[in-house]
Amino acid sequence: MMQFDKDGVTLFYVDANGKKISHNYMEGTAYDEMLNVRSAQIQAIRENTQTEANYTTALGNLQASVDAGRPHDAAPAKPLQKIVSDNGEVSYTPFVPPLPDLVIPKTIPSGPIAAPTVDKQAIMYNMILAMFRKMFPEA
């Protein structure tokens, strides 16, 4: 990432070999190019922040529907992070740290599709009815 030096006007960056590359405002075109690349890097940071916020909001809304047990669409596609190198080259990579995924909870059936449970009242009723019929067969 390009930065301003301590003097407040010189732009610099450190390349892959550890060499500090800088240009002063008096150097004209080279400085203007570095200033344009720095502006593109700052714009990429803004775009990445907005992209991450949009994804998080969309995923949060979908997660709320899933947690409530409502039918849902597929999770939104994970966006890629825009990176502008110190040379001005633009590339796209996955976000670091990774963006969250949709979590589909394991559901335990409830309601009309629930697994059958023992109905103790029905069992007691059937036992009393069986005793009654045995004691009073004519009824």
**Domain extents for the chain?**
3-101
pLDDT score of 116 more than 80: no
Tokens 């009654």, located at residue: 132
pLDDT score of 78 more than 90: yes
* Selection from 81, 84, 87 nearest residue 13 by Cα: 87
Select the more confidently predicted residue: 42 or 18.
42
Report pTM. Answer: 0.66
Greatest CA separation found in the chain? 117
Mean pLDDT estimate for the chain: 86
